Structure 1
């Protein structure tokens, strides 16, 4: 093996660098470090030949004298042993005799991770530099509060036209509503003594056969005949609606044999002739046990005008109707009925059941009319909405406590769907007042009891 090659610490070559105690010097990887050879032409004096004494170290970079053989060393002496750092002894002092030993914890510095970080000094907000053409600001600007970002393309000015339009519409609605409410015909329809309050809201809807206010041309077109003075009720219907249930429309045959207060047993429509709307309302309340909250009446001319105002009403006629008394001749099938045709359809008795079939047609047509009047195609069309409000306010007769918004609530309630009923009939009878309709008392009490 070459003398310069690596070997064990016990047998190292002579060109290994050693410290003052003769131990080899190791690098960071634990390998012996060789001495540096002087470069050629160096003017440094060579060390004296021979081995240097212990305690003295040859100059750095000098080579050992090869002429003098070096004695063989004990491997135990040349083996490298790492230096162990000396540890300080923590021997506790012996206390004097007769005193107990007291141990006091030594104050050690807190670890670095537990030391509190120094608080930085408060920083002053930067001062804006002096502006050109103006005075210098000696105060710091206040920080701006963050505001939510708005969507680009619209600002508060975008809502101004919409708010203006909404305001105009609301104003026109209020003005038109007050104008229409002032045009309504009002009459006293509340009886002096009413029955106890019942659930829901009850309307008494009356179709009068009065010809008052019609011209001769209108009489000829409608086929109603001449003026008969104070008319009778051609249609009597009771509308009930409340929370959580569909409205119920009950037809009362005009020849129903009931007790008219102050006049005894008679046809129910005769109460209108004897005492007007007030006596008719009292008669209906005593016969049904329901408290009437609102009253609405319309005549022949107003009914035909109301149908024409909404553009006609589509009805499906099951069989052809040819009735000269009602001035009507309709084929079977679905068709749009105008004002005169609609009036003849609800007045005609040319059916197998006579008046009972007629009240059924009246309910169907009234429901279809309310649905057409509250349809968006009518409400959003000013050419239909204007005539509708004008005709309705000029032809309807209501109670003294009723208003145009009560009629609007009535129409909207019927638009959601109506349950149609007829007072249960027990038979017919000839009496001193003519042929009358007898109610089925048990079934009638059950029907009106469900509405209380």
Structure 2
């Protein structure tokens, strides 16, 4: 989550902002600037938490229960829409069963036609650009900005702001994510926070339960990052900035001002001035050739994305399965 990094940009000197702008990893190519066909009104951001292990030592990988797989995959995806119709954050389950549009494999050069698959497979097949293309294809929206942070950046950001207070309604113990959390209010450090937002095996609704936890944590993180104790502490500000820039990945057209605008929108939603919802879902255990998947509710999903496309007030209810 890039929120803790973005809030620091509102409080640091202009010269430091220029320095940070030069360090942004603008390597994601979403298409030729000015030539991408934009449909709809308002601005759409795609916030991605990836399972990139870049920046982690072998010991840290073991301690954080990340495994040692190479490359990176999507671990969380949030579509943020801002405009005159309000601000809405929509969680997109990584196991969503969608159509991946036709593509040419960057590894083999072979052309593949459209095919059904899980949403996170799009990232594995063609990286951020394929992920964006797939979301655009299935929603009718245009993604204007892409922002991604990996495991190391997430852990360091949480630690840099002094941890994030969370109140849990029950014990959460999950060997795969490393979560070992007790019921009640506590402050999660980076390691515990990563385990919390990754675990889903203790959630009755699996991936949907995890996306709700991620939204809950994002709200708490935005509040913590914007608190006076963080904003007025130069050490915390620069620590968060350094931590975030190490693993933050954005598209070529995204600069610090875009990130600041995104943070302000997130801060508004988590402060109650906007909506946080899951995409409408018909089934969370839909059987497919790729295993169990999350099936969107076609009618309600179309309504949601039509409202966002036209920058109208969102009236679709939160997307739990029926």
Q: Which residue of 1 aligns with 2:5?
A: none
1:180 aligns with 2:31: no
Q: Secondary structure at the match of 1:377?
A: helix
Q: CA deviation at 1:243?
A: 3.3
1:372 aligns with 2:224: yes
Q: Which residue of 2 aligns with 1:433?
A: 290
Q: Secondary structure at the match of 1:343?
A: helix
**Residue deviations 1:291-333 (CA, integer Å, cap 9, x gap):** 1111000111111111111111111111110111111211111
Q: Which residue of 2 aligns with 1:401?
A: 253
Q: Secondary structure at the match of 2:223?
A: helix
Aligned length: 280
Greater gyration radius:
1
From 190, 195, 208, the equivalent of 2:30 is 190
Q: Secondary structure at the match of 1:357?
A: helix
From 357, 375, 387, the equivalent of 2:209 is 357
Q: Which has the higher helix share?
A: 2
Instruction: Flag the 1:283–1:396 CA change in 2: closer, same or farther, 3 A.
Output: same
Q: Secondary structure at the match of 2:137?
A: helix
What is the alpha-carbon distance in structure 2 between the residues aligned to residue 275 and residue 339 of structure 1? 29
Q: Secondary structure at the match of 2:308?
A: coil
CA RMSD of aligned residues (A): 1.8
For the Cα contact (< 8 Å) 1:195–1:289, is it kept in 2? no
Q: Which residue of 1 aligns with 2:75?
A: 234
Instruction: Flag the 1:328–1:236 CA change in 2: closer, same or farther, 3 A.
Output: same
What is the alpha-carbon distance in structure 1 between the residues aligned to residue 293 and residue 115 of structure 2? 14
Q: CA deviation at 1:194?
A: 4.8
Q: Which residue of 1 aligns with 2:42?
A: 200
From 82, 91, 96, the equivalent of 1:251 is 91
4+ residue stretches of structure 1 with deviation over 4 A?
191-195
From 129, 136, 143, the equivalent of 1:278 is 129
From 302, 308, 312, the equivalent of 2:153 is 302
For the Cα contact (< 8 Å) 1:393–1:404, is it kept in 2? no
Q: Which residue of 1 aligns with 2:4?
A: none
Q: Secondary structure at the match of 1:238?
A: strand
For the Cα contact (< 8 Å) 1:374–1:412, is it kept in 2? no
Q: Secondary structure at the match of 1:269?
A: helix
Q: CA deviation at 1:400?
A: 0.7
What is the alpha-carbon distance in structure 1 between the residues aligned to residue 308 and residue 225 of structure 2? 26
For the Cα contact (< 8 Å) 1:260–1:266, is it kept in 2? yes
What is the alpha-carbon distance in structure 1 between the residues aligned to residue 244 and residue 254 of structure 2? 14
Q: Which has the higher strand share?
A: 2
Task: Return 272-281 or 210-219, whichever deviates more.
Answer: 210-219
From 198, 207, 223, the equivalent of 2:65 is 223
1:339 aligns with 2:190: yes
What is the alpha-carbon distance in structure 2 between the residues aligned to residue 439 and residue 327 of structure 1? 29
Structure with the bigger RCO (C-alpha within 8 Å, sep 6+) is: 2
Which runs of 5 or more residues in structure 2 are unaligned? Answer: 1-9, 103-113, 310-322
TM, length-normalised to structure 1? 0.59
1:293 aligns with 2:149: no
